[in-house]
Amino acid sequence: MSRAPRLEARIGYRFKSSALLEQALTHRSFGSPHNERLEFLGDGVLDCVVAEELYARFPDLPEGALSRLRANLVRQAALAGVARAIGLSGFMKLGEGELASGGAERPSILADGLEAVYGAVFLDGGYDAVRMAIHRTFGDALQRLDAQAPAKDAKTRLQELLQGRRKRLPEYRVVATKGAAHKQTFEVECVVAELELRATGSGSSRREAEQRAAEALLRQLEA
C-alpha cells in the first residue's frame, strides 16, 4: 500500500501490520477480509476514549450530560467530518458499483471506515496508541467542548444519543387528541423499537407533545 505512509502520518501512528490497515480500509463491496469487524471494535474503543476524556475534563457533570456530549462527538456526521479532514476517502477500497454511486463520500462509509482504522490501531498498537490517534484526528474538537452551551431540545438530544449508539431513530405517533378544535391536547408516543422502549408526552401542540415524549424517553435511556 504505497499511500499508507501518508495516512499513517495523518493519524499519527505507524502500523507494524500493514494487513490490518489494508483490512480497515476495505469496504465489504470490494471483497474480504473487509472492515466490518474492525469497525465494531473501533466503535467501542472510540466510545471509551471519548468517555475517558469527558470524565476527566468535566468532573461535575452528571451522566446524562456526559452522554449528550459524547453522542454529539461520535455521531455519524461528526465522524464523517473527521474522515474527510484526513482525506480518508482517497484511501478506501470500494467495489465498482459503490464507487459509481458516490460511496467514497457517503457519510456512513466514511464514519465506519474511520472507526475501522481506530480498531486496527488498537489491535496493532494497544489502547495508548489508539487514544493518541483519536486525539490527533479529532484535532481540537475535544478541547472546544463547552458543557455550558445552551442545551439542545429533547428530540435533537435523543436523536444524537441514538446515533452515537448506532441505533435507529425514534418514531413518533399521535395516540390521542382531546378537547375542542380550538383547544386541543395531543398525546404522542415516542418509540425506539430496537431497544424496546416507549414513552408518551402531551401538550397543546403535536410538536410540544413530541418534545415531552422525547424527554421522557431520554430519562429512560439515561437512568
Q: Domain-by-domain residue ranges, the chain?
A: 4-137, 154-222
Q: Based on the number of CB atoms within 10 Å of its own CB, is 94 exposed (0-12), middle (13-18) or buried (19 or more)?
A: buried
Comparing 4-137 with 154-222, is the CATH topology the same?
A: no
Question: How confident is the model at residue 163, as a pLDDT?
Answer: 84
CA atoms within 13 A on the CB side of 194: 10
Q: How many whole angstroms from its chain centre is CA 31?
A: 25
Question: How confident is the model at residue 103, as a pLDDT?
Answer: 81
Query: What's the CA gap between 121 and 127, in Å, rounded?
Result: 8
Dihedral sign for Cα 136, 1, 23, 127, please: negative
- Provide the residue count of the chain: 223
Q: Reading across the β-sheet that carries 185-192, which strands appear in turn? A: 171-178, 185-192, 197-203
Which fold, 4-137? Ribonuclease iii, N-terminal Endonuclease Domain; Chain A (1.10.1520)
Question: How confident is the model at residue 134, as a pLDDT?
Answer: 96
The set of catalytic residues is 43, 115
Helices (H), the chain: 4-11, 18-24, 36-57, 63-74, 76-85, 96-100, 107-125, 127-137, 154-164, 206-222
Question: How confident is the model at residue 223, as a pLDDT?
Answer: 60
The helix/strand/coil state of 118 is helix
Asked if residue 27 lies in contact with residue 15, where contact means CB atoms within 8 angstroms, the answer is: no
b/e 62-93 (16+ beta carbons within 10 angstroms → b) = eeeebbbbbbbbbbbebbbbbbeebebbebbb
Amino acid letter, residue 177: T
In CATH terms, 154-222 corresponds, of 3.40.50.2300, 3.30.160.20, 3.10.330.20, 3.40.50.720, to 3.30.160.20
Averaged over successive runs of 10 residues, the pLDDT of the chain (223 residues) comes to: 79 95 95 95 95 92 84 83 92 91 86 96 98 91 68 80 85 90 86 93 88 90 70
Query: What's the CA gap between 209 and 199, in Å, rounded?
Result: 11
Question: How confident is the model at residue 147, as a pLDDT?
Answer: 67
Question: How confident is the model at residue 148, as a pLDDT?
Answer: 63
Predicted TM-score (pTM) of this structure: 0.69
